[in-house]
Amino acid sequence: MILETVSENRAHRGTQGVYSHSSQATGTGMTFSVFVPPHNEGAIMPVLWYLSGLTCTHANVTEKGEYRAACAEHGVIFVAPDTSPRGEDVPDAADEYDFGKGAGFYVDATREPWSRHYRMRSYIESELPDLLAANFPVDMTRQAITGHSMGGHGALTIGLRNPGRFRSVSAFAPIVAPSEVPWGEKALGRYLGDNRARWREYDAVALIEDGARLPELLVDQGTADNFLEEQLQTHRLARACEMAGIGATIRMQEGYDHSYYFIASFMADHVRWHATRLKG
């Protein structure tokens, strides 16, 4: 796969880059960002994946996430993919912010017309890791994953489905049980069909109920988040983790909303938390 450099900028003594390539998984061009912290020649470093939320691209966290200082301090590569396939030939629901482009939900769609391009699960779990390993100084034995909202859903489900791949998993305001909330019911129903049993592999609470486990988990959730009660329902994850014996640190952050002001406020905490678990 040929990787094209869109931009590279010096930041915190490292390099913030944006790159594009032709994806076999999605059948489209894809763009992602990578921050490589300062390092000695020949060194390889752990990687923290960040999955973005509804309506976002790689650019939102790259421009607003405030992760670079912490990543430079702890020697962690930070990777931010896009949230869906892009392009004129990609089907969309232009008048619906929560479906189509910008709303891939990190699934491999099985229904037409979505199944041809909406294969974000394969892209994140298989194709992009191979591309990253071939082009950047990453230690793929030391991976961590986090994400926000829809991306928090992606981080949790990818972590739960791939035991042993990630040394640590965290999330910011994740959609924890998409099978039970409007955003998820809409997306999973239209991407995957009406058989709700097939949705369970894309639902963190359902995966835990079905036996998937993580050694521990960190979640930050703002109490002033206007999506908390209807769409996010953090209490479902807390209950599932308690029943399963998963050591979940779920922090309800007083007065914080769903925005990148919230994410930026706690991003360094998450980078440090992951860095501790990525050492060695």
Residue 280: CB atoms within 10 A of its CB come to 6
From the candidates 148, 258, 270, 274, give the one annotated as an active-site residue: 258
| CATH assignment of the domain containing 176 | 3.40.50.1820
Q: What is the 3-state secondary structure (H, E, C) of 40-69?
A: CCCCCEEEEEEECCCCCCHHHHHHHCCCHH
The DSSP bridge partners found for residue 11 are: 14
From the candidates 92, 108, 203, 225, give the one annotated as an active-site residue: 225
Question: 84 near 124, Cβ under 8 Å?
Answer: no
Catalytic site includes residue 258: yes
Structure tokens at 39: 């390092």
Distance between CA atoms of residues 117 and 108, nearest Å: 9
Helix or strand or coil: residue 1? coil
Q: Where are the alpha helices (DSSP H) in 97-203?
A: 120-122, 128-135, 150-161, 182-192
Q: Which domain holds residue 213?
A: 3-278
Structural domains counted in the chain: 1
- Can you give the pLDDT at residue 207? 98
Distance between CA atoms of residues 58 and 14, nearest Å: 18
Share of the chain above pLDDT 90, in %: 99
pTM of the model: 0.98
1 pLDDT higher than 80: no
From the candidates 52, 84, 149, 168, give the one annotated as an active-site residue: 149
Which DSSP category does 173 fall into?
S
Quick: pLDDT tens for 219-254: 999 999 999 999 999 999 999 999 999 999 999 999
Catalytic site includes residue 225: yes
Helix or strand or coil: residue 208? helix
Quick: pLDDT tens for 28-60: 999 999 999 999 999 999 999 999 999 999 999
